[in-house]
Amino acid sequence: MSLQDIKVSVDAVVFGYSSQTGLSVLLIKRKKEPFQHCWALPGGLVKDNESLEEAVERELHEESGVSINYLEQLYSFGKPDRDPRNRVISVAYFGLVSPEAFTLNASTDAEEAKWFSMLELPDLAFDHAEILDLAFKRLQGKIRYEPVGFELLTEKFPFSDLEKLYSSLLGEPVDRRNFKKKIMKLGFLEQLDEKQQLSSAGRPGFLYTFNKESYFELKEKGFNFWV
């Protein structure tokens, strides 16, 4: 009986958002075979002396220049033929960031790092399309039981940006009046005295900000938003 020869890797699904481009995902262009010059999720093999969390943070920073304080473990992917080089089990993680907070810088095994709209994705290497699809479904489910937005929106934003974010995540428009009523009732959003600066004709609306204490308290406890 032969001994197992299984390697462990990590992959990072990092979602970003802007009111102009909608929901996006961070991808890297592979420098080496297999799938040389193809787009893929940031990731790589776990070193002997590091944890899974340390590995995914290191790979993400090395291949894209992005650092995230919190990545949530998504799922383990272990089909025998998912990597043509070896038997590799990948533990996937996902997180949310504001793309404007980072300057992308590809290095090590990546020749380029880029944000792609979720509506215009390239073909992905390995089984990364399957990983990304599961991460997106997890995110869609997540917004139903905990608040989402603090990681993706600017410190001050018009309410329409939060509305567009949820519409983008759900893949369909939200009922504007009902949505705002529900959000404000939850108490993690504060209306400011400031109004947005418009570059074109129109009526400027008030800006909003997240109440950090209420936001993270609700995030910890959870809620059933769509009832």
In tens, the pLDDT along 106-131 reads: 998 899 999 999 999 999 999 999 99
When pLDDT is cut at 50, 70 and 90, the band that residue 199 belongs to is: low
Rounded to a whole number of angstroms, the distance between the first and last alpha carbons of the chain is 55
Report yes or no: 87 and 8 within 8 Å, Cβ to Cβ: no
Residues 133 and 27 in one domain: yes
Q: What is the pTM of this model?
A: 0.90
Residues 6+ positions from 210 with CB-CB distance below 8 Å? 149, 150, 153, 188, 189, 190
Q: What is the mean pLDDT of residues 19-34?
A: 93
Q: Say if 10 falls within a structural domain.
A: yes
* DSSP one-letter code for 171: T
> Last residue of some domain: 79, 108, 138?
138
> Last residue of some domain: 138, 166, 199?
138
Q: Give the helix ranges, DSSP H, for the chain.
A: 52-64, 128-142, 159-170, 176-186, 212-221
Domain that holds residue 191: 157-221
Q: Say if 143 falls within a structural domain.
A: no
Strands 72-77 and 6-18: unpaired
pLDDT digits (tens, 9 = 90+) for 55-99: 999 999 999 999 987 799 999 999 999 999 999 999 999 999 989
Whether 59 is catalytic: no
Q: Can you tell me whether residue 19 is helix, strand or coil?
A: coil
Q: Is 42 exposed, middle or buried (0-12, 13-18, 19+ CB in 10 A)?
A: buried
Residues 131 and 165 in one domain: no
Residues 11 and 120 in one domain: yes
* DSSP one-letter code for 10: E
pLDDT digits (tens, 9 = 90+) for 140-190: 998 888 888 888 998 999 999 999 999 988 888 889 889 999 999 999 999
Q: Does residue 227 surpass a pLDDT of 70?
A: no
Residues 81 and 10 in one domain: yes
Residue 172: the pLDDT is 85
The structural domain count of the chain equals 2
Catalytic residue, from 111, 112, 130, 151: name it. 112
Q: Say if 152 falls within a structural domain.
A: no
Residue 156: the pLDDT is 93
Reported as half-sphere exposure (CB side, CA atoms, 13 A), residue 57 has a value of 11
